[in-house]
Amino acid sequence: MQGFGKFGFYEIFKDVYKAAAGKENAIKYQTLGFALSSACAEVIADCLLCPWEAVSIIFLSQLI
C-alpha cells in the first residue's frame, strides 16, 4: 500500500514540479525536484498507511 502510493504520487509530483519550474529551470534544478517530489509522495503514502497500521494494532492487541 505504502509503496504503491509513494511510487504513484512521486511520478505525479515529478511532472507537476517539472511543469511549474519551466523548461530551463527543470533541467537546472532536477535533483531538487526529485527530492521534493519524493518527500511529498512519502507524506501522502504515510497518511494512506496510517489507517491500516491502526487496524493492525487493534487486531494484534485482541489476539493476546
pLDDT by position in tens, the chain (length 64): 778 888 999 999 999 999 999 989 999 999 999 999 999 999 999 998 988 888 989 998 887 6
Apex 33 CA angle, 27 and 37, nearest 5: 145
- Residue 8 is placed in which grid cell? 504513484
Report domain extents, the chain: 2-63
Residue 44's CB is within 10 A of a number of other CB atoms, namely 17
What is the reported pTM?
0.77
What values do phi and psi take at 38, rounded to 5? -65, -40
Alpha-carbon distance of 38 to 54, in angstroms, equals 24
Residue pLDDT, tens place only, 43-54: 999 998 988 888
Residue 4: the pLDDT is: 83
